[in-house]
Structure formats: structure tokens, C-alpha cells
Amino acid sequence: MVYSFPEEQYLKEKAHALRTGLFFRLEEFVDDFPTGSPGKLIDILKRILTAASDSIEAASDKRILILVYNAVHTLSEALDWLDNAHVSQTPRGLADFLDRIASMLAPSSMVLVAPSSKYNYSITDLVPWLTHFAQILVPPASQGSILSQLPQNLYLIQFPRIERENVLGHAVFGHEFGHPIAARFLQNYIATTEGQTHAHEAAREIAVVFQTELSALPPLGQMKAKMRHFQVVSQIHKRAIEELVSDAVGVFLFGPSALFALSDLFCQTELDQLPERGNYYYPPSRFRLREMHSLLEENGHLKALNELPGRGGAPLVSDAARSVLEYIGHLIADDLDRKNIGDEPHVSIAYRWVNKCLHAGHQYAQSEVGTLLYTVELATREISPLIDRLKMELPPSEIGIWPDETNADWRSAILSAWVMKFHQATNAGLGSSERRKKVVDTQRLALKGVEYCLLRDLYKKSLSPREEGYK
């Protein structure tokens, strides 16, 4: 049927309306975020949207315009991030320690912290994301000027808003910072002869394990079935390595606090769920706790916590440390997760593959963490005196007595508060509301402690050249 309505022109106008709609909503944030990482994100997005005008005009296919609509819908997610990126929603201590880790692990990176209504901790590098959209929406001739404005990394860091005050739980970010490291490990590993041999062995195992099913199919059916089985196995393997190597980074950055933070998250879940498409192929939680526990045992952290001295009226606190380690030891002694893994063909092939490369992944993680490693010597030196400060309701930020006090490591502030929290949360001598109040107080003190530690570090660095000058 012939019609006179200029559909193409109308659809282009719709694309422009969406594009400019997002542009002006972003413009509304400019006064709130004139500089810094939010300002950078706004600037890049506005440049992409402005340059997209030419691509929309050049589009001669309705399908391109449908993709443009979807691209603008996806980009508009940034409005939610910016809505939540205000200082009032993010504790200073959290922003500071995330910045500290980011600047050490990835110099020249920028960090955008935005709590979320979703119960999810995540770190996403927005640079590849923005690059994708510049390549999709901007004509090739204009892409260079936009891509040159991008920082090396722009990490969007999200955490559950209801956990905002729980600085102890934020040790989970050690794991999150591990994801780029795990991705690099996987990329390197699969290109090695060893990595390719392991993939080859997995493909051969698939042919053996699914032989009955495959042999009943015609040649093309066999090929498709093999591809599907391998796709599932390699996804399970990849996701396991991504999570387990990231867990290792968390352990190397935060020591036992990484295990405690993950245990605290996992106590809200079933521990033995098998990896499957519906759960993004996450490894079973119990398996992850066991691997982290094993790393902490290897580097001596567990022995040190078990031998925490009960001094100055703090024996009950050191008892709590031993008690929680005993509890976690009990959790990981149960091997239902391993049994489930062995019973499911795709998962068992994938996890045999995981076992072949996980140790190398751990070594890679430790070398990437480098000087940021949280050592057992540091923990042993600092935890007891910091617990003493918490008992006196002081922030766990320094060791010793003025004028001979020294600044504590901010990760020790978190670990000492974890031990204190276990003592308070399980103290049968206190009423329920009193326990909760004490735990909240400890979390607040820990947050202050982290802030003080990082501020003193900053002051020390900034003032020391002046002090030298007066000598």
C-alpha cells in the first residue's frame, strides 16, 4: 500500500528527540558536578550525543534507527548513577579507600562512586563502554576527538545503599578490584600453549562424557551439540576463574576481612548452588569460601588470628575471633558443593579445567597486588592494639601513645572492627538491641578509623617536605 507519510523523517526525528532528551537531562547535572569523574562522564556522553546527530541524519535503514533508540535507552542508565553519586550518599572513608586502591592498582584511573537500590556490589570500567558507544553512534571521522578525551579507566563503583554505613562489608571491594586482574589473567592464559592444551582436553572430555547423546545425532547435529556443550563448559570455567581469582585479589588486599565480608554476604544465600545460566554461572559460595580460607591459611593469617592475644580485659574478643574461624572451618569442611559439582557433567568438566589453572591465577593475582599486599606481619602488629582502642570506643586508627603514636594501616582498622563485631554480635551477655547498638557503634568507629588513617597519610605526605625545609 502506498502512503505519503514520510516515515523515515519521522523516525529520525524520534531519534533526535531521544538524543536531545538525554543531553538536556545530563546538562541538569553540570552545576552539581562541574569537575571530577562525574563531570568527565557527563562531558563524554554529551559529546557522543551531539556527534550522533550526523549518524542519525545519514541513516538510510530503519533497523539502524531502532538500534539508535536502544543505544540511547542504555546510555540513559547514566542518569541513575549520577542521581546517586552525591557526597551525601557515600561515606568519605569509603570513597577515599576506593580511590587509594584504584590509584595503586591502576594509576591515572578515575572513580565514580554511586550507591544503588539493588543489593549488589560492583565495579565497572566505563571506558570500554563509552568507547563502544562512540564507535556505534559517532561517524568514524569524529570518533578520534571523543576517544582522546577518555581517561585510562573510569571505574563506576556501586554498592547496596542499605549497606552504606557497613564499612566492614565494603572489604568486598577487594574482590571487585580483582575483576580487571582476573580478566587479564584469563586473556593471557588462554593464549598460552598450556591454556590451549587445557581447552583441547575439555573438548575431548565433552566428546567422551556425552558420547551416547552425540552418537545418536547426524553429523551436523553432533557438531551443533558439541558447540553448545563446549560453550556451556567454557562459560562455567571462565566465570569460575573470574570469581575465584578476584576472590584471591580480595584476600591479598584485605587479608581475613575479605573472607569475613564474603561470609557475611553469603550467609544470606544457599551455599551449594551449582553454576548455571540463571545465576550467571557463579561458583558455589562454599567453594569460594574454601579457596579463600585456604589462601589465608597458606599465608599465615588464620594462625595469627587464632593466636590473637587476649590482653587488657579483651580475652572474650580474641575468643570471638577463634570462634568465627572455627565456624567458617566447619562450613567449608562440608563438601556438598564438591559432590554437586562432580554430579553435573558440564560443571565437573569445567571444574577439572579450573583446577588446572587456578594456582597460576592465584600467583598472578598476588604479583598484580604487589606492594598493596596486606601482610600477616602487619596484621599481627596492629590488630590487638586497635581492638583495645575499639573497646575504649575510639576509632581504630593509631598504635601507641602520644607523642610516640604511629598511624595504623586502614585495612587493620577494618579487620580489628570485624573481630570486635563478631564478639558484640554474638555476646550472649547483652540484650538484642544492645548488641545491635554496639555493632553499629563499631562500624561507625571503623569508618572514622579508616578516614583518620587515610587523612593522616595524606597530611604526612603533604607536610613532610615542609618539615624538612625547617631543619
Partner 1 sequence: MSAPSTVFKEASDLNFGFLSVKASNALSAVLDHQPLSDDERQDLHRAAEFLEDVADGALVAIEGTFRQGARDDRSMDALSYALGPIDTLKELAQEENVSVLFANMSKAVHCAAEAPTQAQTEDMKVAISFFDALYKLIVRDLQAERPMLGAGSSTRYFAQLA
Query: Which residues are near partner 1 by CB under 8 A?
Result: 60-61, 63-64, 66-67, 70-71, 73-74, 77, 120-124, 128-129, 132-133, 135-136, 139-140, 172, 175-176, 179, 186-187, 190-191, 195-196, 199-204, 219-220, 223-224, 226-231, 234-235, 238-239, 243, 265, 280, 282
417 burial (CB, 10 Å; 0-12 / 13-18 / 19+) is buried
Q: How far is the CB of 136 from partner 1 (least distance, A)?
A: 5
Nearest Cα to Cα of residue 179 among 114, 249, 121, 271: 249
Q: How far is the CB of 196 from partner 1 (least distance, A)?
A: 5
Residue with cell 559460595: 285
- Pairwise CA distance, residues 22 & 82, whole Å: 13
Q: CB nearer to partner 1: give 71 or 317.
A: 71
- The SS3 assignment for 106 reads coil
C-alpha cell at 420: 570486635
Q: CB nearer to partner 1: give 103 or 231.
A: 231
208 burial (CB, 10 Å; 0-12 / 13-18 / 19+) is exposed
> How would you label 55-66 residue by residue, b for 16+ Cβ within 10 Å and e otherwise?
bbeebeeeeebe
* Contact yes or no for 379/255 (Cβ under 8 A): yes
Q: CB nearer to partner 1: give 180 or 449.
A: 180
Degrees to nearest 5, angle at CA 45 with 182 and 68: 95
C-alpha cell at 461: 605526605
Q: CB nearer to partner 1: give 71 or 446.
A: 71
Q: How far is the CB of 208 from partner 1 (least distance, A)?
A: 12
Q: How far is the CB of 229 from partner 1 (least distance, A)?
A: 8
- Pairwise CA distance, residues 185 & 360, whole Å: 9
Q: CB nearer to partner 1: give 70 or 363.
A: 70
**Most distant CA pair in the chain, distance:** 91
Task: Determine which helix (DSSP H) or strand (DSSP E) holds 112, and give its type and residue range.
Answer: strand 109-113
DSSP label of 407: E
C-alpha cell at 96: 577515599
Q: CB nearer to partner 1: give 170 or 389.
A: 170
Q: How far is the CB of 190 from partner 1 (least distance, A)?
A: 5
Q: CB nearer to partner 1: give 228 or 437.
A: 228
Q: How far is the CB of 168 from partner 1 (least distance, A)?
A: 16
The percent of the chain in helix, strand and coil, each rounded to the nearest 5, is 75, 5, 20
Q: CB nearer to partner 1: give 235 or 299.
A: 235
Q: CB nearer to partner 1: give 239 or 411.
A: 239
- Pairwise CA distance, residues 196 & 56, whole Å: 43
Q: How far is the CB of 304 from partner 1 (least distance, A)?
A: 27
Q: How far is the CB of 426 from partner 1 (least distance, A)?
A: 25
* Contact yes or no for 175/262 (Cβ under 8 A): yes
Q: How far is the CB of 180 from partner 1 (least distance, A)?
A: 12
